[in-house]
Structure 1
Amino acid sequence: MAQSYDYIIIGAGSAGCVLANRLSEDPETRVLVLEFGGSDKSIFIQMPTALSIPMNGTKHNWRYYTLPEPGLDGRRVHCPRGKVLGGSSSINGMVYMRGHARDFDEWEELGAKGWGYANCLPYFQRAESWKGGGDEWRGDTGPLATNAGNEMENPLYRAFVASGRDAGYVTTEDPNGHLQEGFGPMHMTVKDGRRWSTANAYLKPAMSRPNLTVVTHAMTRRVILEGKRAVGVEYERGGQRHVAHATREVLISSGPIGTPHLLQRSGIGPAQVLRQAGVDVQHDLPGVGENLQDHSEVYIQYACREPITLNGKMGLWSKFLIGAEWILFKRGLSTTNHFESGGFIRSDASLEWPDIQFHFLPAAMRYDGKEPLKEHGFMVLTGPNKPKSRGHVRLRSTDPYEQPDILFNYLDREEDREGFRRCLRLTREIIAQPAFDRYRGEEMAPGKDVQTDDEIDAWVRETMESTYHPCGTCRMGEDGMAVVDSELKVHGIDALRVIDSSVFPSEPNANLNAPTIMLAERASDMVRQRPLLPPSNAAVGSAPGVGQSQRSREPLRKI
Structure 2
Amino acid sequence: MQTYDFIIVGSGSAGSVLAEKLSASGRFSVLVLEAGGSDRRFYVQMPLGYGKTFFDPDVNWNYKAEPDPGLAGNADHWPRGKLLGGSSSINAMVWIRGAREDFDAWAAAGNPGWGYDDLLPAFKALEDNQAGADQWRGVGGPLHVTDCSGAVHPLTKRYLAAGQQAGLPFNPDFNGAAQEGVGVYQISTRNGRRMSAARAFLRPAMKRANVRVEMKALATRVLFEGKRAVGVEYQQNGETKSARAGREVILSGGSVNSPQLLQLSGVGPSALLKGLGIRMVQANENVGAHLQDHVGINYTFKGKLPTLNQTLRPWWGKLLVGMQYILTRSGPLSLSMNNAGGFFRTDPAATRPNMQLYFQAFSTVIPKSGERPILTPDPWPGFSIGLSNCRPSSRGEIMIRSANPREYPRITANAYSTNADVEEMLAAVKFVRKIASMPAMAEIIEEEVLPGPSITSDADLIQDFRKRSGTVYHPVSTCRMGPDPARAGSG
TM-score range, shorter chain: over 0.9
Q: What is the alpha-carbon distance in structure 1 between the residues aligned to residue 213 and residue 373 of structure 2? A: 31
Matched, 1:146 2:151: no
State the partner residue of 1:295: 294
Query: Secondary structure of the residue that 2:317 maps to in structure 1?
Result: helix
Q: What is the alpha-carbon distance in structure 2 between the residues aligned to residue 148 and residue 96 of structure 1? A: 10
Deviation at 1:167, TM superposition (A): 1.2
Q: What is the alpha-carbon distance in structure 1 between the residues aligned to residue 318 and residue 45 of structure 2? A: 16
Matches within 5 A, 1:328-339: 328-339=327-338
Instruction: Report the AA paired with residue 255 of structure 1.
Output: G
Is contact 2:92-2:337 (8 Å) kept?
Answer: no
State the partner residue of 1:548: none
Deviation at 1:418, TM superposition (A): 1.2
Matched, 1:431 2:430: no
Deviation at 1:117, TM superposition (A): 0.7
Deviation at 1:228, TM superposition (A): 1.4
Deviation at 1:150, TM superposition (A): 5.6
Deviation at 1:368, TM superposition (A): 5.3
Q: What is the alpha-carbon distance in structure 2 between the residues aligned to residue 378 and residue 480 of structure 1? A: 47
In the alignment, which of 377, 380, 386 is matched to residue 382 of structure 2? 377
Query: Secondary structure of the residue that 2:103 maps to in structure 1?
Result: helix
Cα deviations by residue, 1:1-20 (Å, 9 ceiling, x for unpaired): x0000000000111111111
Higher-RCO chain (CA-CA 8 Å, sequence separation at least 6): 1
State the partner residue of 2:407: 402
Q: What is the alpha-carbon distance in structure 1 between the residues aligned to residue 218 and residue 269 of structure 2? A: 23
Is contact 1:152-1:185 (8 Å) kept?
Answer: no
In the alignment, which of 474, 479, 499 is matched to residue 479 of structure 2? 474
Matches within 5 A, 1:167-178: 167-178=166-177
Deviation at 1:311, TM superposition (A): 4.0
Is contact 2:192-2:330 (8 Å) kept?
Answer: yes
Deviation at 1:225, TM superposition (A): 0.6
Q: Quote the RMSD (CA, aligned, Å).
A: 1.5
State the partner residue of 1:524: none
State the partner residue of 1:276: 275
Cα deviations by residue, 1:119-159 (Å, 9 ceiling, x for unpaired): 11111111111100111111111111111236354221111
Matches within 5 A, 1:520-539: none
Q: What is the alpha-carbon distance in structure 1 between the residues aligned to residue 154 and residue 96 of structure 2? A: 22
In the alignment, which of 375, 392, 395 is matched to residue 390 of structure 1? 395
Deviation at 1:481, TM superposition (A): 4.4
State the partner residue of 1:32: 31
Deviation at 1:82, TM superposition (A): 0.4
In the alignment, which of 427, 445, 448 is matched to residue 450 of structure 2? 445
CA 1:218–1:333 in 2, change beyond 3 Å: closer, same or farther?
A: same
Matched, 1:267 2:266: yes
Deviation at 1:162, TM superposition (A): 1.0
Instruction: Report the AA paired with residue 429 of structure 1.
Output: K
State the partner residue of 1:230: 229
Cα deviations by residue, 1:41-87 (Å, 9 ceiling, x for unpaired): 21111111121111222110000011111212221101111000000
Is contact 1:149-1:190 (8 Å) kept?
Answer: no
CA 1:418–1:371 in 2, change beyond 3 Å: closer, same or farther?
A: farther
Query: Secondary structure of the residue that 2:298 maps to in structure 1?
Result: strand
- Would you say how many aligned residue pairs link Structure 1 and Structure 2? 485
Cα deviations by residue, 1:311-346 (Å, 9 ceiling, x for unpaired): 442122211221222222212221101322111011
Give percent identity, aligned residues only: 39
State the partner residue of 1:246: 245
Deviation at 1:227, TM superposition (A): 0.7
Q: What is the alpha-carbon distance in structure 1 between the residues aligned to residue 334 and residue 376 of structure 2? A: 22
Matches within 5 A, 1:508-547: none
Deviation at 1:370, TM superposition (A): 4.3
CA 1:368–1:480 in 2, change beyond 3 Å: closer, same or farther?
A: farther
Query: Secondary structure of the residue that 1:140 maps to in structure 2?
Result: coil
Matched, 1:59 2:64: no
Which shifted more, 312-321 or 233-242? 312-321
Is contact 1:148-1:340 (8 Å) kept?
Answer: no
State the partner residue of 2:256: 257
Q: What is the alpha-carbon distance in structure 2 between the residues aligned to residue 425 and residue 18 of structure 1? A: 40
Is contact 2:59-2:82 (8 Å) kept?
Answer: yes
Is contact 2:93-2:189 (8 Å) kept?
Answer: yes
State the partner residue of 2:313: 314
Matched, 1:483 2:476: no
Q: What is the alpha-carbon distance in structure 1 between the residues aligned to residue 69 and residue 312 of structure 2? A: 38
Cα deviations by residue, 1:379-409 (Å, 9 ceiling, x for unpaired): 1111221101000010111111100010010
Is contact 1:158-1:341 (8 Å) kept?
Answer: no
Q: Which runs of 5+ in 2 are unaligned?
A: 366-371
Q: Which runs of 5+ in 1 are unaligned?
A: 485-489, 492-559
Is contact 2:33-2:219 (8 Å) kept?
Answer: yes
Q: What is the alpha-carbon distance in structure 2 between the residues aligned to residue 244 and residue 28 of structure 1? A: 19
Is contact 1:277-1:395 (8 Å) kept?
Answer: no
Which shifted more, 379-388 or 436-445? 436-445
Q: What is the alpha-carbon distance in structure 1 between the residues aligned to residue 251 and residue 316 of structure 2? A: 45
Deviation at 1:270, TM superposition (A): 1.0
Instruction: Report the AA paired with residue 142 of structure 1.
Output: G
Q: What is the alpha-carbon distance in structure 1 between the residues aligned to residue 205 and residue 311 of structure 2? A: 42
Instruction: Report the AA paired with residue 65 of structure 2.
Output: T
Query: Secondary structure of the residue that 2:374 maps to in structure 1?
Result: coil
State the partner residue of 2:127: 128
State the partner residue of 1:190: 189
Q: What is the alpha-carbon distance in structure 2 between the residues aligned to residue 66 and residue 405 of structure 1? A: 7
Cα deviations by residue, 1:201-223 (Å, 9 ceiling, x for unpaired): 11111211000000000011111
Q: What is the alpha-carbon distance in structure 2 between the residues aligned to residue 473 and residue 198 of structure 1? A: 22
Q: What is the alpha-carbon distance in structure 1 between the residues aligned to residue 31 and residue 335 of structure 2? A: 34
Q: What is the alpha-carbon distance in structure 1 between the residues aligned to residue 314 and residue 50 of structure 2? A: 17
Cα deviations by residue, 1:167-196 (Å, 9 ceiling, x for unpaired): 122111111111211111111101000011
Is contact 1:311-1:363 (8 Å) kept?
Answer: no
Which shifted more, 21-30 or 107-116? 107-116
CA 1:347–1:240 in 2, change beyond 3 Å: closer, same or farther?
A: same
Is contact 2:310-2:317 (8 Å) kept?
Answer: no
Matches within 5 A, 1:197-216: 197-216=196-215
Q: What is the alpha-carbon distance in structure 2 between the residues aligned to residue 316 and residue 482 of structure 1? A: 55
Q: What is the alpha-carbon distance in structure 2 between the residues aligned to residue 174 and residue 338 of structure 1? A: 18
Deviation at 1:460, TM superposition (A): 1.2
Query: Secondary structure of the residue that 2:17 maps to in structure 1?
Result: helix
CA 1:50–1:368 in 2, change beyond 3 Å: closer, same or farther?
A: farther
Q: What is the alpha-carbon distance in structure 1 between the residues aligned to residue 312 and residue 75 of structure 2? A: 31
Is contact 1:150-1:336 (8 Å) kept?
Answer: no
Q: What is the alpha-carbon distance in structure 1 between the residues aligned to residue 307 and residue 456 of structure 2? A: 29
Compute the TM-score of the two structures, normalised by the length of structure 2.
0.96
Which shifted more, 430-439 or 138-147? 430-439
CA 1:78–1:14 in 2, change beyond 3 Å: closer, same or farther?
A: same
Instruction: Report the AA paired with residue 70 of structure 2.
Output: G
State the partner residue of 2:369: none
Q: What is the alpha-carbon distance in structure 2 between the residues aligned to residue 341 and residue 307 of structure 1? A: 17
Is contact 2:52-2:375 (8 Å) kept?
Answer: no
Matched, 1:457 2:485: no
Compute the TM-score of the two structures, normalised by the length of structure 1.
0.85
State the partner residue of 1:100: 99
